[in-house]
Amino acid sequence: MEQSNYTSFNDWLENSKMPNGKRKVLKSAIKLFSQNGYQSTSTSSIAKDCDLSEATVFKHFKNKKELLDTIITPIINTLAPSFSQQFVESVGKHTLKIDEMIEYIITDRFHFIEENHQMISIMISQLLIDDELKNQLEEIMLPKLSFIIDKANELMKQDDSVSDDVSAEELFRTISGQLLISTVIEFKFPSDDWDTEKQIQSMLKVCKKVIHK
């Protein structure tokens, strides 16, 4: 498949050519790494979760580090470039006003986070301890982010209702903060009363209030 055909990490995993046993091990590893952290997850617990022997785990992966690398590598080499480029192109197509841009980014990224929250949790944990990985991801993402910030600045200047005291950088810090808080609440403190669309509207209200007079 071409990079642009993947819609999530799970999409990549389901469509990649590999033995079913290896795929089961990866799914369990992703689940447990995201829940408990890499260091606190043993190969025996992964084997138990996917109902395979630990020997079968080692048949596909020589150690836990290779298992983690098999998860991280496609994100850096295939998925991050594809997802970020898709996002930039979509922002360009769907936003003619700054409020439309805010709405599109929050809605699109929040649904993206919901679909990929396990992988995002693993990546965040690794970025805190792996400078090389951090540099690789920054090299991919920063040019895309700069493009979006430049477009936001342009749209903000065209809107008379936007305060002159607020920059696009401040707006994106607010957007990022709202997405982070909502993600933590949804996945770290799950509730039966959770309403995704209601949460999106709440985030939109906060972010739009930041920029308007």
Split into its structural domains, the chain has a count of 1
Q: Which domain holds residue 26?
A: 3-211
Mean pLDDT, rounded, for 135-145: 92
- How high does pLDDT run on average in the chain? 91
Is the CA virtual torsion 37, 80, 23, 183 positive or negative?
positive
**Single-letter amino acid, residue 196:** T
Taking each continuous run of H as one helix and of E as one strand, the counts in the chain are: 10, 0
| CATH code of residue 159 | 1.10.357.10
How far apart are the C-alpha atoms of 12 and 158, rounded to whole Å?
A: 40
Instruction: Render pLDDT for 14-56 as a digit per residue (tens, 0 to 9).
Output: 988 999 999 999 999 999 999 999 999 999 999 999 999 999 9
**Phi, psi for residue 212 in degrees, rounded to 5:** -90, 145
In this structure, the number of other CB atoms found within 10 A of the CB of residue 25 comes to 26
Q: How many angstroms separate the most distant Cα atoms in the chain?
A: 65
**Residues written for the chain:** 213
Instruction: Render pLDDT for 67-107 as a digit per residue (tens, 0 to 9).
Output: 999 999 988 988 888 888 889 989 988 788 999 999 999 99
